[in-house]
Structure 1
Amino acid sequence: MPRRVARVWSCILVAVDEIQRGRWMWSVLSTCEVPAGERFDWYSDIVSREVMPAALSSEQPAEFQGEAAVLDLGDVRVSRFSLSPLQSRRTAAMIRRGDPEQYQLALLRKGATSLSQHRNECVIGLGDLMLWDTSRPSYNRMSATGGQVQATILLLPRDIVPLRTQRLDQVLARRIPGGEGLAAILSSFMTALEDHGAECGPQELRRLGSVAVDLATACLAQHIDTEDQLPAEVRTQALVQRIHAFIEHNLGDPELNPSAVAAHHHLSVRTLHQLFHDRGESVRARIRRRRLERCRSDLIDPGLRARHVSAIAARWGFSGPAVFSRSFREAYGISPTEFRALCVDDF
């Protein structure tokens, strides 16, 4: 590799465990500082050396641009990439040269991609998910109309996914619609990881890694009809995440309460409370906290300064201004009106 390219690489690949202002950083590589004529070759070389051996090709290599990043979640990593359309082929010979031995589960954020692996083929679009195995040959073609392909990927070591290989083979290179059920919850989780993962500390990231494995496993099991074979703790974690997602989508409903949550998930209220008993926060407390946090965000928002405090309270499900004011003061030590005034003064 030319010396100037090596210097660029050493500057832009930041160690994952580097802490800056108390935040763990994404490790990033980008073609932005590489001379235009060398970008595609440089990117191809980096992928083969630092990720896994693969043969990349592009119809317009001179115009290629690409950026990729990874965040460590303990045993799991999450990566994101944005790059010009290309094709990637991984052969048995390349697998013998180097294999991270991972299942990689991708959420497509922009563009389209097709994948062939293990006698399966699929084409996915915006919001869809798909799975592939780095230990099997594959062919991937990415496309985008007038732009780049963007995706978020969970990198899951094969030995931590508690599903049999023969069963997972059924879902390799299969489109998983990301708009409903467990897939929708997993998609929201992966999006949040990309958007906010760097705000978390090392212990929080490790916990998020465990959640990622549980949600991914539950989602894949659902698509191969093996959900009942999952370990009890995985099923429980997936259920809790479904409940969290239901609460988030219904915070504005004043009728949202433990009884409504239990009924929607076909649980008794007693079972629901037992489910949350060891999680440090009851269902009722979570609903209250999330409503207050949403209200607090609205009170800070300059675009909502004309909206009355009582309207913000009603938007997020509080039964009345007095109840909201009392709850807000208990949580933050100041009334909503006083909090908003302080925020306006800060601006």
Structure 2
Amino acid sequence: MHWSTGEAAPGEQFAYWRELICAAFLALTPESDLRGGFAGDVTQWPLGALHLARITSQRQTVRRTRADIERSPARGYYANLQVRGTSLMAQGDRVTLLHPGELGVVGTDAPFRFEFGGDFQQLSFFVPADLLPEPVPTASALDTRAGVGAAVRLALESVPTARRPERLAFHAAGMLGVALDPTILDPVRAPRTHRAALEDIEGHLADDDLTPAATARRLGVSVRFLHGLFAGRPESYATTVRRLRLAKAERDLRDPALSHLRVIDVATDAGFVNVASFHRAFRRAFGRTPNEVRNLNISARTQTHP
């Protein structure tokens, strides 16, 4: 989705910008002395629970006030990657100046302020609170020129052209958690605990509360440490859970001893609460619907044992 102040009537550019910002993000309050001559545009990529936006604009101050929070109280974080220009980021008693190539995070459940002194461009990545292990160090600069920070920057820059942008965005959120706390990449503990995390997931696939917090609690590690175990691997925590649940459902549909179960029962036993999304995910993963897999298996047994 793309919005531009060029669509506004002459003299109404900044008023339109106010509406545009609130449409593209959570409620915010922008201010600028440029008014009628103001120019800016926003391109946004919805990514399921995540959102990425590219903002190109001119000098202004953007606040999230208490009134804004009351109007849109969704809890999460904005991770802003400075592309051009500079921006001052402030939240609570913390203030930092972002230069090109630096990334800063602010929480949406407390007031914050951005000050842009001139023309700028940012990539703004919205991450729900449950995807970043807390406490998150807000209003501090993260270097993206090397290490995990560079991987986060590359992922965010690649999302607009990625074949599966939602998957890449979730990987970016996981890597962001690691970049905010590099100590979770303990080379001694990680391999052993990653295996333990997989075993815990497999043992609790049918749990309604199979979440990073629940797995971390059972393993005796922090949620941030748990996310770090999956950072840099082919699958995030959430992707691993989905794959293992689908694999269990596929095995159960092929099991003659479970042929009396309805497909909805198989889906529920594997931990899926939404049957429609289960059918879509199953077909994407295996190229057949659940009923087709079951019927093919029944047909094969009948031919083998007439």
The structure 1 segments of at least 4 consecutive aligned residues displaced by more than 3 Å after TM superposition are 225-234
What residue is the counterpart of 2:139 in the other structure?
Answer: 173
What residue is the counterpart of 1:14 in the other structure?
Answer: none
Please say if residues 73 and 208 of structure 1, whose CA atoms lie closer than 8 Å, have aligned partners that are also in contact. Answer: no
1:206 aligns with 2:160: no
Is the partner of 1:36 in helix, strand or coil? coil
What runs of 5+ residues in structure 2 fail to find an aligned partner?
A: 187-221, 235-306
1:238 aligns with 2:231: yes
Please say if residues 102 and 155 of structure 1, whose CA atoms lie closer than 8 Å, have aligned partners that are also in contact. Answer: yes
Aligned residue runs from structure 1 range 208-287, under 5 A: 208-222=168-182, 225-227=183-185, 229-230=222-223, 234-240=227-233
What residue is the counterpart of 2:127 in the other structure?
Answer: 156
The two structures have a TM-score, normalised by structure 1, of 0.53
Q: Offset of 1:59 from its aligned partner?
A: 2.1
Is the partner of 2:89 in helix, strand or coil? strand
Is the partner of 1:59 in helix, strand or coil? coil
What residue is the counterpart of 1:143 in the other structure?
Answer: 117
In structure 1, how many angstroms separate the alpha carbons of the residues matched to 2:225 and 2:98?
A: 31
In structure 2, how many angstroms separate the alpha carbons of the residues matched to 1:226 and 1:232?
A: 5
Taking a change above 3 Å as real, the CA distance of residues 231 and 133 of structure 1, as seen in their structure-2 partners, is closer
Taking a change above 3 Å as real, the CA distance of residues 36 and 117 of structure 1, as seen in their structure-2 partners, is same
1:86 aligns with 2:52: no
Q: Offset of 1:153 from its aligned partner?
A: 1.6
Q: Offset of 1:119 from its aligned partner?
A: 1.1
In structure 2, how many angstroms separate the alpha carbons of the residues matched to 1:37 and 1:109?
A: 28
Is the partner of 1:155 in helix, strand or coil? strand
In structure 2, how many angstroms separate the alpha carbons of the residues matched to 1:213 and 1:185?
A: 11
The two structures have a TM-score, normalised by structure 2, of 0.60
What residue is the counterpart of 2:20 in the other structure?
Answer: 46
Please say if residues 108 and 126 of structure 1, whose CA atoms lie closer than 8 Å, have aligned partners that are also in contact. Answer: yes
Please say if residues 75 and 157 of structure 1, whose CA atoms lie closer than 8 Å, have aligned partners that are also in contact. Answer: yes
Is the partner of 1:190 in helix, strand or coil? helix
Please say if residues 184 and 224 of structure 2, whose CA atoms lie closer than 8 Å, have aligned partners that are also in contact. Answer: no
RMSD of aligned C-alpha atoms? 2.2
Q: Offset of 1:50 from its aligned partner?
A: 5.0
Taking a change above 3 Å as real, the CA distance of residues 31 and 182 of structure 1, as seen in their structure-2 partners, is same
How many residues are aligned here?
200
In structure 2, how many angstroms separate the alpha carbons of the residues matched to 1:137 and 1:231?
A: 24
What residue is the counterpart of 1:31 in the other structure?
Answer: 5
Please say if residues 176 and 183 of structure 1, whose CA atoms lie closer than 8 Å, have aligned partners that are also in contact. Answer: yes
What residue is the counterpart of 1:23 in the other structure?
Answer: none
Please say if residues 111 and 149 of structure 1, whose CA atoms lie closer than 8 Å, have aligned partners that are also in contact. Answer: yes
Q: Deviations over 1:182-205 (max 9, x none)?
A: 1111111111224x14xx2xxx23
1:101 aligns with 2:75: yes
Taking a change above 3 Å as real, the CA distance of residues 232 and 78 of structure 1, as seen in their structure-2 partners, is same
Is the partner of 2:141 in helix, strand or coil? coil
What residue is the counterpart of 2:238 in the other structure?
Answer: none
In structure 2, how many angstroms separate the alpha carbons of the residues matched to 1:138 and 1:59?
A: 20
In structure 2, how many angstroms separate the alpha carbons of the residues matched to 1:121 and 1:233?
A: 29
In structure 2, how many angstroms separate the alpha carbons of the residues matched to 1:85 and 1:100?
A: 27
Please say if residues 72 and 205 of structure 1, whose CA atoms lie closer than 8 Å, have aligned partners that are also in contact. Answer: no
Taking a change above 3 Å as real, the CA distance of residues 73 and 97 of structure 1, as seen in their structure-2 partners, is closer
Is the partner of 1:185 in helix, strand or coil? helix
